[in-house]
Structure 1
Amino acid sequence: MAQADRSFIGEGIIYARAYQSQDPLLDIGNCDQFNIAWATNRQALPNYRGGGGNRNVQERITDVTATIGMYDLTPENVARVTRSTITAATTDAITDELLIGAGVQGELIPFKHLPDLAETITVKGADDEALAVGTDYQLNPHGIIVLASGKITAAGVKASYTPRAASVLQMMTTSAVELEIYIAGLNDAQSGEPFSLRPRRVKFGMLSQMSVLGQEYLKLEGPAELLADDTIIATDISKFCEMQLVTKVA
Protein backbone atom coordinates (compact mmCIF):
# COMPACT_ATOMS: atom_id res chain seq x y z
CA MET A 1 0.00 0.00 0.00
CA ALA A 2 1.37 3.43 -0.96
CA GLN A 3 2.14 5.83 1.86
CA ALA A 4 -0.41 8.68 1.98
CA ASP A 5 0.79 12.27 2.12
CA ARG A 6 0.56 13.52 5.70
CA SER A 7 2.44 16.82 5.34
CA PHE A 8 1.48 19.58 7.72
CA ILE A 9 1.12 23.38 7.68
CA GLY A 10 -0.64 24.49 10.82
CA GLU A 11 -2.88 27.50 11.23
CA GLY A 12 -5.90 28.21 13.38
CA ILE A 13 -7.34 30.07 16.33
CA ILE A 14 -5.98 30.08 19.87
CA TYR A 15 -8.50 30.19 22.70
CA ALA A 16 -7.57 30.80 26.33
CA ARG A 17 -8.99 31.12 29.82
CA ALA A 18 -7.61 31.31 33.34
CA TYR A 19 -6.18 27.99 34.52
CA GLN A 20 -8.56 25.96 36.69
CA SER A 21 -11.47 28.29 35.96
CA GLN A 22 -14.85 27.84 34.35
CA ASP A 23 -14.42 31.04 32.34
CA PRO A 24 -15.32 30.87 28.65
CA LEU A 25 -12.55 29.96 26.23
CA LEU A 26 -12.05 33.19 24.26
CA ASP A 27 -10.26 33.85 20.99
CA ILE A 28 -7.03 35.78 21.69
CA GLY A 29 -6.69 37.08 18.13
CA ASN A 30 -4.44 36.69 15.09
CA CYS A 31 -1.47 34.47 15.97
CA ASP A 32 1.21 33.28 13.56
CA GLN A 33 2.98 30.77 15.77
CA PHE A 34 2.74 28.47 18.74
CA ASN A 35 5.97 26.53 19.18
CA ILE A 36 6.68 23.91 21.83
CA ALA A 37 10.21 22.94 22.85
CA TRP A 38 11.54 20.28 25.21
CA ALA A 39 14.75 20.19 27.23
CA THR A 40 16.04 16.97 28.74
CA ASN A 41 18.60 15.86 31.29
CA ARG A 42 20.43 12.78 30.02
CA GLN A 43 22.37 10.43 32.27
CA ALA A 44 24.32 7.52 30.84
CA LEU A 45 25.83 4.55 32.66
CA PRO A 46 28.95 3.41 30.76
CA ASN A 47 29.42 -0.24 30.02
CA TYR A 48 32.46 -1.32 32.01
CA ARG A 49 32.13 -4.99 31.03
CA GLY A 50 34.06 -4.65 27.83
CA GLY A 51 33.17 -3.58 24.32
CA GLY A 52 32.38 0.05 25.13
CA GLY A 53 29.05 1.78 24.80
CA ASN A 54 26.59 2.31 27.60
CA ARG A 55 25.03 -0.19 29.96
CA ASN A 56 21.94 1.98 30.41
CA VAL A 57 20.70 5.51 29.75
CA GLN A 58 18.05 7.69 31.30
CA GLU A 59 16.65 10.83 29.69
CA ARG A 60 14.36 12.96 31.82
CA ILE A 61 12.29 15.90 30.59
CA THR A 62 13.28 19.01 32.53
CA ASP A 63 11.58 21.93 30.74
CA VAL A 64 8.62 22.21 28.40
CA THR A 65 8.53 25.71 26.93
CA ALA A 66 6.48 27.49 24.30
CA THR A 67 6.57 30.64 22.21
CA ILE A 68 3.42 32.37 21.02
CA GLY A 69 3.25 35.14 18.41
CA MET A 70 0.31 37.51 18.85
CA TYR A 71 -0.49 40.30 16.39
CA ASP A 72 -3.59 41.69 18.12
CA LEU A 73 -2.61 44.22 20.78
CA THR A 74 -5.61 43.78 23.02
CA PRO A 75 -5.18 44.92 26.62
CA GLU A 76 -5.37 41.27 27.71
CA ASN A 77 -2.62 40.12 25.33
CA VAL A 78 -0.30 42.96 26.29
CA ALA A 79 -0.96 42.33 29.99
CA ARG A 80 -0.15 38.63 29.63
CA VAL A 81 3.40 39.26 28.44
CA THR A 82 4.16 42.43 30.46
CA ARG A 83 2.61 41.37 33.79
CA SER A 84 0.25 44.31 33.75
CA THR A 85 -2.87 45.11 35.70
CA ILE A 86 -5.79 46.40 33.62
CA THR A 87 -8.28 49.04 34.69
CA ALA A 88 -10.91 50.91 32.68
CA ALA A 89 -10.30 54.63 32.24
CA THR A 90 -13.15 56.87 33.32
CA THR A 91 -15.48 58.15 30.64
CA ASP A 92 -17.13 60.71 32.93
CA ALA A 93 -16.70 64.35 31.94
CA ILE A 94 -13.76 66.01 33.71
CA THR A 95 -13.92 69.67 34.77
CA ASP A 96 -10.90 71.94 35.33
CA GLU A 97 -8.20 69.28 35.37
CA LEU A 98 -5.06 71.20 36.41
CA LEU A 99 -2.14 70.47 34.09
CA ILE A 100 1.39 71.80 34.55
CA GLY A 101 3.32 73.17 31.60
CA ALA A 102 6.13 75.60 30.80
CA GLY A 103 4.22 77.74 28.32
CA VAL A 104 6.83 77.15 25.61
CA GLN A 105 5.76 77.26 21.96
CA GLY A 106 5.36 73.74 20.55
CA GLU A 107 5.10 72.18 24.02
CA LEU A 108 2.76 69.22 24.41
CA ILE A 109 0.61 69.35 27.53
CA PRO A 110 -0.97 65.88 27.72
CA PHE A 111 -4.25 65.37 29.55
CA LYS A 112 -4.42 62.69 32.22
CA HIS A 113 -6.75 60.70 29.96
CA LEU A 114 -7.02 60.54 26.16
CA PRO A 115 -9.61 63.16 25.21
CA ASP A 116 -12.60 62.48 23.00
CA LEU A 117 -12.16 65.11 20.29
CA ALA A 118 -15.78 64.65 19.20
CA GLU A 119 -16.93 66.13 22.52
CA THR A 120 -16.59 69.71 23.79
CA ILE A 121 -13.12 70.61 25.09
CA THR A 122 -12.41 73.88 26.87
CA VAL A 123 -9.04 75.08 28.14
CA LYS A 124 -8.30 78.05 30.36
CA GLY A 125 -5.33 79.37 32.26
CA ALA A 126 -4.60 78.46 35.84
CA ASP A 127 -6.03 81.88 36.73
CA ASP A 128 -9.26 80.98 34.89
CA GLU A 129 -8.51 83.30 31.96
CA ALA A 130 -10.15 81.96 28.81
CA LEU A 131 -7.85 80.49 26.17
CA ALA A 132 -8.73 80.20 22.50
CA VAL A 133 -8.13 77.14 20.35
CA GLY A 134 -6.12 78.07 17.25
CA THR A 135 -4.70 81.14 18.99
CA ASP A 136 -3.36 79.98 22.33
CA TYR A 137 -3.30 76.25 21.76
CA GLN A 138 -3.94 73.53 19.24
CA LEU A 139 -5.96 70.43 20.09
CA ASN A 140 -4.14 67.13 19.93
CA PRO A 141 -5.36 63.52 20.39
CA HIS A 142 -3.32 63.52 23.61
CA GLY A 143 -4.02 67.03 24.90
CA ILE A 144 -2.92 70.43 23.57
CA ILE A 145 0.06 71.95 21.78
CA VAL A 146 1.06 75.43 23.03
CA LEU A 147 1.02 78.18 20.39
CA ALA A 148 2.96 81.43 20.39
CA SER A 149 0.44 83.84 21.90
CA GLY A 150 2.08 83.73 25.33
CA LYS A 151 -1.10 83.38 27.38
CA ILE A 152 -0.12 79.90 28.58
CA THR A 153 2.48 80.24 31.33
CA ALA A 154 4.36 78.00 33.75
CA ALA A 155 1.33 78.19 36.04
CA GLY A 156 -0.29 75.64 33.73
CA VAL A 157 -3.81 75.27 32.37
CA LYS A 158 -7.18 73.86 33.38
CA ALA A 159 -8.81 71.47 30.93
CA SER A 160 -12.43 70.33 30.78
CA TYR A 161 -13.10 67.36 28.51
CA THR A 162 -14.64 63.91 28.16
CA PRO A 163 -12.14 61.00 28.10
CA ARG A 164 -12.25 58.34 25.42
CA ALA A 165 -13.08 54.80 26.46
CA ALA A 166 -9.70 53.15 27.09
CA SER A 167 -7.95 50.47 29.10
CA VAL A 168 -5.10 51.48 31.39
CA LEU A 169 -2.24 49.00 31.73
CA GLN A 170 0.16 49.34 34.63
CA MET A 171 3.13 47.32 33.43
CA MET A 172 5.24 45.05 35.62
CA THR A 173 2.91 45.32 38.60
CA THR A 174 1.56 41.79 38.95
CA SER A 175 2.58 38.14 38.80
CA ALA A 176 2.68 35.92 35.73
CA VAL A 177 -0.64 34.54 34.52
CA GLU A 178 -1.46 30.87 34.09
CA LEU A 179 -3.81 29.89 31.28
CA GLU A 180 -5.52 26.86 29.85
CA ILE A 181 -5.19 27.00 26.07
CA TYR A 182 -7.09 25.29 23.28
CA ILE A 183 -5.81 25.58 19.72
CA ALA A 184 -8.54 24.95 17.14
CA GLY A 185 -6.21 24.16 14.29
CA LEU A 186 -6.49 23.49 10.57
CA ASN A 187 -3.89 21.68 8.49
CA ASP A 188 -3.52 23.86 5.40
CA ALA A 189 -1.44 21.15 3.70
CA GLN A 190 -4.44 18.78 3.92
CA SER A 191 -7.24 21.06 2.65
CA GLY A 192 -8.05 22.49 6.07
CA GLU A 193 -8.24 19.17 7.92
CA PRO A 194 -8.93 19.92 11.60
CA PHE A 195 -6.56 19.18 14.48
CA SER A 196 -6.47 20.31 18.09
CA LEU A 197 -3.79 21.05 20.63
CA ARG A 198 -4.62 21.47 24.31
CA PRO A 199 -1.78 22.78 26.50
CA ARG A 200 -3.26 22.27 29.95
CA ARG A 201 -1.35 24.77 32.10
CA VAL A 202 0.62 27.56 30.42
CA LYS A 203 2.51 30.13 32.48
CA PHE A 204 3.44 33.23 30.49
CA GLY A 205 6.85 34.84 30.86
CA MET A 206 7.95 38.44 30.27
CA LEU A 207 8.27 39.91 26.82
CA SER A 208 11.95 40.62 26.07
CA GLN A 209 11.10 43.73 24.05
CA MET A 210 8.13 45.58 22.57
CA SER A 211 8.72 47.67 19.46
CA VAL A 212 6.29 50.52 20.17
CA LEU A 213 7.53 52.55 17.19
CA GLY A 214 8.42 50.84 13.93
CA GLN A 215 7.57 50.26 10.29
CA GLU A 216 6.31 46.68 10.58
CA TYR A 217 3.32 45.11 12.27
CA LEU A 218 4.13 44.66 15.94
CA LYS A 219 4.13 41.06 17.16
CA LEU A 220 3.97 40.18 20.84
CA GLU A 221 6.33 37.20 20.90
CA GLY A 222 5.64 35.89 24.35
CA PRO A 223 7.62 33.15 26.06
CA ALA A 224 5.74 30.62 28.16
CA GLU A 225 6.26 27.39 30.05
CA LEU A 226 4.00 24.37 30.06
CA LEU A 227 3.73 23.30 33.68
CA ALA A 228 2.56 19.92 34.93
CA ASP A 229 -1.17 19.90 35.62
CA ASP A 230 -1.52 17.99 38.88
CA THR A 231 -5.28 17.72 38.43
CA ILE A 232 -4.50 14.99 35.86
CA ILE A 233 -4.11 11.79 37.83
CA ALA A 234 -4.59 9.15 35.12
CA THR A 235 -1.28 7.59 34.08
CA ASP A 236 -2.25 7.39 30.41
CA ILE A 237 -3.07 11.11 30.06
CA SER A 238 -0.40 13.77 29.68
CA LYS A 239 -0.08 16.40 32.41
CA PHE A 240 1.29 18.84 29.82
CA CYS A 241 -0.37 18.73 26.43
CA GLU A 242 -2.80 16.72 24.31
CA MET A 243 -2.96 16.70 20.51
CA GLN A 244 -5.65 15.20 18.32
CA LEU A 245 -4.99 14.38 14.65
CA VAL A 246 -7.56 13.08 12.19
CA THR A 247 -6.97 9.47 11.16
CA LYS A 248 -6.49 9.23 7.43
CA VAL A 249 -8.80 6.61 5.97
CA ALA A 250 -7.24 4.66 3.08
Structure 2
Amino acid sequence: MSTMDRSFIGAGSIYLKPADDSAPLLPVGNVSEFKFSFEEDKKELKNYLGGIDNLGVTVSYTASNMVQALIESGKEFVLFMEGLNDAQDGKASNIRVHRIKFSPVQNLDFISDDFASIPLEIDVLVDTTITGSGLSTFMQIDLAG
Protein backbone atom coordinates (compact mmCIF):
# COMPACT_ATOMS: atom_id res chain seq x y z
CA MET A 1 0.00 0.00 0.00
CA SER A 2 1.44 3.41 -0.98
CA THR A 3 1.12 6.59 1.03
CA MET A 4 0.81 10.16 -0.20
CA ASP A 5 2.74 13.01 1.43
CA ARG A 6 0.41 15.97 2.18
CA SER A 7 2.76 18.09 4.29
CA PHE A 8 2.42 21.88 4.19
CA ILE A 9 5.06 24.62 4.28
CA GLY A 10 4.54 27.85 2.44
CA ALA A 11 2.80 31.14 2.15
CA GLY A 12 -0.45 32.48 0.88
CA SER A 13 -2.94 35.29 0.77
CA ILE A 14 -6.12 35.44 2.86
CA TYR A 15 -9.35 36.95 1.53
CA LEU A 16 -12.74 37.58 3.17
CA LYS A 17 -16.19 38.48 1.95
CA PRO A 18 -19.43 38.83 3.91
CA ALA A 19 -21.43 35.60 3.95
CA ASP A 20 -24.47 37.52 2.68
CA ASP A 21 -22.53 38.58 -0.49
CA SER A 22 -23.05 42.28 0.37
CA ALA A 23 -19.44 43.07 -0.63
CA PRO A 24 -16.78 41.57 -2.90
CA LEU A 25 -13.89 39.34 -1.89
CA LEU A 26 -11.22 41.56 -0.25
CA PRO A 27 -7.62 40.81 0.84
CA VAL A 28 -7.06 40.73 4.60
CA GLY A 29 -3.53 42.15 4.45
CA ASN A 30 -0.19 40.98 5.79
CA VAL A 31 -0.95 37.73 7.62
CA SER A 32 2.06 36.28 9.44
CA GLU A 33 0.43 33.01 10.50
CA PHE A 34 -2.70 31.09 9.52
CA LYS A 35 -3.51 27.81 11.21
CA PHE A 36 -6.45 25.69 12.24
CA SER A 37 -6.67 24.01 15.61
CA PHE A 38 -9.65 21.96 16.63
CA GLU A 39 -11.08 21.75 20.10
CA GLU A 40 -14.31 20.73 21.73
CA ASP A 41 -15.74 22.84 24.52
CA LYS A 42 -17.99 20.75 26.73
CA LYS A 43 -19.87 22.49 29.52
CA GLU A 44 -22.54 21.52 31.99
CA LEU A 45 -25.35 23.82 32.98
CA LYS A 46 -25.16 24.90 36.63
CA ASN A 47 -28.23 24.57 38.81
CA TYR A 48 -29.63 28.11 38.96
CA LEU A 49 -32.99 27.07 40.39
CA GLY A 50 -31.96 27.27 44.05
CA GLY A 51 -29.88 29.74 46.03
CA ILE A 52 -30.02 33.49 46.48
CA ASP A 53 -33.16 35.23 45.16
CA ASN A 54 -31.79 38.78 44.93
CA LEU A 55 -28.15 39.81 44.99
CA GLY A 56 -28.96 43.54 45.35
CA VAL A 57 -26.23 44.61 42.87
CA THR A 58 -26.47 48.08 41.30
CA VAL A 59 -24.19 49.11 38.41
CA SER A 60 -23.79 52.60 36.91
CA TYR A 61 -21.58 53.94 34.12
CA THR A 62 -20.24 57.40 33.32
CA ALA A 63 -19.50 58.21 29.66
CA SER A 64 -16.08 59.61 28.72
CA ASN A 65 -13.85 59.68 25.65
CA MET A 66 -14.37 56.22 24.16
CA VAL A 67 -13.27 54.19 21.20
CA GLN A 68 -15.95 51.83 19.92
CA ALA A 69 -14.35 48.55 18.90
CA LEU A 70 -15.83 45.44 17.33
CA ILE A 71 -19.09 47.14 16.39
CA GLU A 72 -19.98 44.35 13.95
CA SER A 73 -18.25 41.44 15.67
CA GLY A 74 -21.18 39.11 15.03
CA LYS A 75 -20.98 39.41 11.24
CA GLU A 76 -20.37 36.18 9.30
CA PHE A 77 -17.84 35.80 6.49
CA VAL A 78 -16.55 33.36 3.87
CA LEU A 79 -12.76 32.88 4.06
CA PHE A 80 -10.46 31.98 1.17
CA MET A 81 -6.77 31.16 1.36
CA GLU A 82 -4.83 31.04 -1.88
CA GLY A 83 -1.37 29.60 -1.30
CA LEU A 84 1.68 27.79 -2.53
CA ASN A 85 2.97 24.71 -0.72
CA ASP A 86 6.78 24.70 -0.62
CA ALA A 87 6.75 21.19 0.89
CA GLN A 88 5.16 20.02 -2.39
CA ASP A 89 7.45 21.81 -4.88
CA GLY A 90 5.43 25.04 -4.78
CA LYS A 91 2.15 23.45 -5.88
CA ALA A 92 -1.05 25.41 -5.30
CA SER A 93 -3.12 24.80 -2.19
CA ASN A 94 -6.40 26.63 -1.74
CA ILE A 95 -8.77 26.61 1.22
CA ARG A 96 -12.36 27.79 1.31
CA VAL A 97 -14.04 27.99 4.71
CA HIS A 98 -17.74 28.25 3.95
CA ARG A 99 -18.89 30.20 7.01
CA ILE A 100 -16.91 31.86 9.84
CA LYS A 101 -17.48 34.31 12.67
CA PHE A 102 -14.68 36.17 14.44
CA SER A 103 -14.33 35.71 18.19
CA PRO A 104 -13.79 38.83 20.29
CA VAL A 105 -10.23 40.15 20.26
CA GLN A 106 -8.12 38.62 23.03
CA ASN A 107 -5.17 41.03 22.95
CA LEU A 108 -4.45 44.53 21.66
CA ASP A 109 -0.83 45.60 22.11
CA PHE A 110 -0.56 49.37 22.46
CA ILE A 111 2.86 49.82 24.11
CA SER A 112 5.66 47.69 22.71
CA ASP A 113 9.10 47.71 21.09
CA ASP A 114 7.64 45.89 18.09
CA PHE A 115 4.84 46.43 15.60
CA ALA A 116 1.36 46.01 17.02
CA SER A 117 -0.50 42.84 16.15
CA ILE A 118 -4.03 41.63 16.64
CA PRO A 119 -4.30 37.86 17.01
CA LEU A 120 -7.76 36.85 15.82
CA GLU A 121 -9.65 33.63 16.35
CA ILE A 122 -12.55 32.45 14.24
CA ASP A 123 -15.36 30.03 14.81
CA VAL A 124 -15.96 27.77 11.83
CA LEU A 125 -19.72 27.36 11.46
CA VAL A 126 -21.71 24.74 9.59
CA ASP A 127 -23.09 25.80 6.20
CA THR A 128 -26.47 24.08 5.95
CA THR A 129 -26.85 25.05 2.28
CA ILE A 130 -24.20 22.46 1.33
CA THR A 131 -25.73 19.03 0.90
CA GLY A 132 -24.62 15.81 -0.68
CA SER A 133 -22.64 12.73 0.15
CA GLY A 134 -18.94 13.37 0.74
CA LEU A 135 -19.22 17.18 0.88
CA SER A 136 -18.00 19.04 3.95
CA THR A 137 -20.35 21.65 5.38
CA PHE A 138 -17.35 23.40 6.98
CA MET A 139 -14.47 23.76 4.50
CA GLN A 140 -12.95 22.60 1.25
CA ILE A 141 -9.21 22.16 0.67
CA ASP A 142 -7.99 21.98 -2.93
CA LEU A 143 -4.51 20.53 -3.41
CA ALA A 144 -2.69 20.49 -6.72
CA GLY A 145 -1.83 16.90 -7.58
Taking structure 1 as the reference length, what is the TM-score of the superposition? 0.43
Structure 2 counterpart of 1:14 = 14
Deviation at 1:34, TM superposition (A): 1.8
Deviation at 1:213, TM superposition (A): 1.8
CA distance in 2, matches of 1:21, 1:176: 16
Aligned partners of 2:73 and 2:102 also within 8 Å: no
The correspondence of residues 1-250 of structure 1 with structure 2, limited to 5 A, is: 7-21=7-21, 23-40=23-40, 170-247=68-145
Aligned partners of 1:180 and 1:202 also within 8 Å: yes
Larger Rg over CA atoms: 1
SS in 2 for 1:214: coil
Taking structure 2 as the reference length, what is the TM-score of the superposition? 0.71
Deviation at 1:22, TM superposition (A): 5.4
Query: What code does the residue aligned with 1:227 have?
Result: L
Identity of aligned residues (%): 30
Aligned partners of 2:94 and 2:141 also within 8 Å: yes
SS in 2 for 1:180: strand
Structure 1 or 2: more strand by fraction: 1
Deviation at 1:26, TM superposition (A): 1.0
Deviation at 1:31, TM superposition (A): 0.6
Deviation at 1:176, TM superposition (A): 1.9
CA distance in 1, matches of 2:135, 2:12: 24
Q: Give the paired residue count.
A: 121
Aligned partners of 2:130 and 2:136 also within 8 Å: yes
SS in 1 for 2:142: strand
Deviation at 1:243, TM superposition (A): 0.2
